[in-house]
Structure 1
Amino acid sequence: MNLSLLIDNLTSPALLFFLLGILAVRLKSDLEIPQNSSKFISLYLLFAIGFNGGRELAHSQLSLEIGWSVLFGVLSSCLIPLYTFFLLRKKLSAENAGAIAAAYGSISAVTFVTAVTFLELQKIPYSGHMVAIMALMEAPAIVVGVLLVRLFGEKDSAAPGIRSMLGHSFTNGSVLMILGSLAIGVLASEKHAQGIEPFTTDIFKGFLALFLLDMGIVSGRKLNDFLKSGWFTSAFAVLVPLLNGCVVALLSGLVTAHAGDRFMLAVLAASASYIAVPAAMKIAVPRANPGLYLPMALAVTFPVNITFGMPLYLSIIVWG
């Protein structure tokens, strides 16, 4: 791994604000982001990344490479929950295994946004269609996770159907915002897009830093309870995402030669959902324990990815 990349990521303001949030919890500080403000910042980040991705997509031409990249991303989101479910079943119930597998097969939009900033620091471009791939990777993992629970878990006649779950996945607020912003970015004229450019680009990194401060506070509050669950879930939350990211960093060269796109595919495969999947699992698999899959994704996998994972995936792509 390139040591300079690791040091550069460890000293980025976004990560340092995340660590400040954890430190605030450990010091029992009253520092916090109001809930309404936190939700607004989340929506802003999704709006900005979706709109800018739509503008990039509007300037690009559809190609076979884009088609293969989309297929690669969707297949990744289906295969990851399949193999992780059976790995998790060695220690956990089918319900908990299915929920965790869905979380790790799905994606984290915030990790994607952080990856955008990371690539900007390295001056490496990425394609606008990666935003579409991110949005399309959210739902398949949820459906696969629910199906696995239905097949191997306790039968529940009151559970919603697959069609209902799929609809919920795409109408989830975060997914709808990113898809809607992407579509608007594609449709907007150049003149109108430039009119809101200061809002979509100039203040982006500041809002990202504030959001990661909030994520650090939330993570710090959940970390102790999660660590009490034992070594297996902790090891899984560290090792499996790194494995997924490294494998995709290598295999993505089969569908695209662009380093930025390969990096984004690796980050998406390595990330874990802590917004859309918990919302879906609460409805579809109420027996699953959110005290496991939520802290695993947010308090462990997220910081591992933004500290060590991203430099590792990029090093594999550049030097592999």
Structure 2
Amino acid sequence: MDFLSNFLMDFVKQLQSPTLSFLIGGMVIAACGSQLQIPESICKIIVFMLLTKIGLTGGMAIRNSNLTEMVLPALFSVAIGILIVFIARYTLARMPKVKTVDAIATGGLFGAVSGSTMAAALTLLEEQKIPYEAWAGALYPFMDIPALVTAIVVANIYLNKKKRKEAAFASAQGAYSKQPVAAGDYSSSSDYPSSRREYAQQESGDHRVKIWPIVEESLQGPALSAMLLGVALGLFARPESVYEGFYDPLFRGLLSILMLVMGMEAWSRISELRKVAQWYVVYSIVAPLAHGFIAFGLGMIAHYATGFSMGGVVVLAVIAASSSDISGPPTLRAGIPSANPSAYIGASTAIGTPVAIGIAIPLFLGLAQTIGG
């Protein structure tokens, strides 16, 4: 009963908070046909400032803390990011009318992290004076990068196997129509390799997936670049004065503007989601909560093993429940070009993000308050 009351109280507070109210407001005005537009350049500046602030907070905290305390939560973050992709691969991909490569891309986006959702969770924790490790925000890349890399690798492995099967089938079908080749007359035929290396390439299809370019592209993305820049500055410089005088006071106001933009974006994506299978709707409602509960359970293990705070457990659960809205989509577009963006971006932006912000944050916050007493 305590959990239910805590959840309901947090849910009402979240509805009244600038975070969710601006998100809902954006959806409402977009549904009413408003022509309000926030220039993309301004949105990029806002995202940069929000994630830089989170990175600065984490960097300064890491500088003054014991790094061994971060090891277990970081390892759990990596495991969760990878696991989420495989959950989508063997659940969503099995649903009728859902293409496997689209399901894998969706899993990658839901395994990656939303900086805005994490910022909303940190804001609510501060408002309710729930302590958490300041470096908890630095768990972002430990979950984000493995999820995107895993999705791209798994999708490419699947596509390569599919191509080889199709090629083998086509070869079997065309074998009967081929004319016999005279002994020693192989030089003009492309069916025969000219070297052992070429033979190995033909056997493997030469479709090896290179991991580092994927990691490099993720690190160079605007979201992670801002986050890691903030962490580095907080760790190696002394940015306290600019942090306290500029980044910290503006944080909540900038977050409210970003939520308004995301609300309008979410409504515009709903029409795209109608073009794909209805299972994406079911997945984008259930998956954030399922992923969050997995992370919450692992966070509790870290809590009892290393003293990881209950606030930190909430942060871990929320970033697992979130889905990337900044760095993930362009990375997946480049890494899995055959996947349908309407499927994975529509599922994430139109439903996944509102569920993560409106339900997952108060849910796990209430659960943590109940367990923590």
Match runs of 1:51-70 below 5 Å: 51-63=56-68, 65-70=69-74
Query: Which of the residues 44, 59, 84 maps onto 1:80?
Result: 84
Match runs of 1:286-305 below 5 Å: 286-305=337-356
Does the Cα contact within 8 Å between 1:45 and 1:208 map onto a contact in 2? yes
Which AA in structure 2 matches 1:7?
A: V
Unaligned runs of 5+ in 1: none
Q: Does 1:314 align with 2:365?
A: yes
The aligned length equals 317
> Is the alpha carbon distance of 1:166 and 1:319 closer, same or farther for their aligned partners in structure 2, counting shifts above 3 Å?
same
- Mapped partners of 2:275, 2:102: distance in 1: 16
- Mapped partners of 1:121, 1:165: distance in 2: 37
Does the Cα contact within 8 Å between 1:159 and 1:285 map onto a contact in 2? no
Q: Which deviates further from its counterpart, 246-255 or 39-48?
A: 246-255
Does the Cα contact within 8 Å between 1:112 and 1:264 map onto a contact in 2? yes
Q: Which deviates further from its counterpart, 5-14 or 120-129?
A: 120-129
Q: Does 1:164 align with 2:213?
A: yes
Does the Cα contact within 8 Å between 2:156 and 2:209 map onto a contact in 1? no
- Mapped partners of 1:195, 1:308: distance in 2: 34
Does the Cα contact within 8 Å between 1:160 and 1:284 map onto a contact in 2? no
Does the Cα contact within 8 Å between 1:52 and 1:200 map onto a contact in 2? no
Query: Which of the residues 17, 38, 42 maps onto 1:33?
Result: 38
> Is the alpha carbon distance of 1:35 and 1:54 closer, same or farther for their aligned partners in structure 2, counting shifts above 3 Å?
same
Which AA in structure 1 matches 2:218?
A: S
- Mapped partners of 2:331, 2:242: distance in 1: 36
Unaligned runs of 5+ in 2: 164-204
Which AA in structure 2 matches 1:46?
A: L
* 1:163-182, Cα deviation, whole Å (9 max, x unpaired): 21121111212111101111
- Residue of structure 2 equivalent to 1:234: 281
CA drift of 1:228 comes to 4.2
- Mapped partners of 2:254, 2:22: distance in 1: 11
Q: CA RMSD in A?
A: 1.8
- Mapped partners of 2:29, 2:315: distance in 1: 31
* 3-state SS in 1 of match to 2:353: helix
- Residue of structure 2 equivalent to 1:266: 317
Q: Does 1:149 align with 2:168?
A: no
Q: Which deviates further from its counterpart, 100-109 or 219-228?
A: 219-228
CA drift of 1:67 comes to 0.9
- Residue of structure 2 equivalent to 1:208: 255
* 1:250-269, Cα deviation, whole Å (9 max, x unpaired): 33111124111000000011
* 3-state SS in 2 of match to 1:281: helix
State the TM-score, normalized to the length of structure 2.
Answer: 0.81
Does the Cα contact within 8 Å between 2:53 and 2:243 map onto a contact in 1? no
> Is the alpha carbon distance of 1:188 and 1:6 closer, same or farther for their aligned partners in structure 2, counting shifts above 3 Å?
same
Query: Which of the residues 182, 203, 206 maps onto 2:231?
Result: 182
Larger Rg over CA atoms: 2
- Residue of structure 1 equivalent to 2:179: none
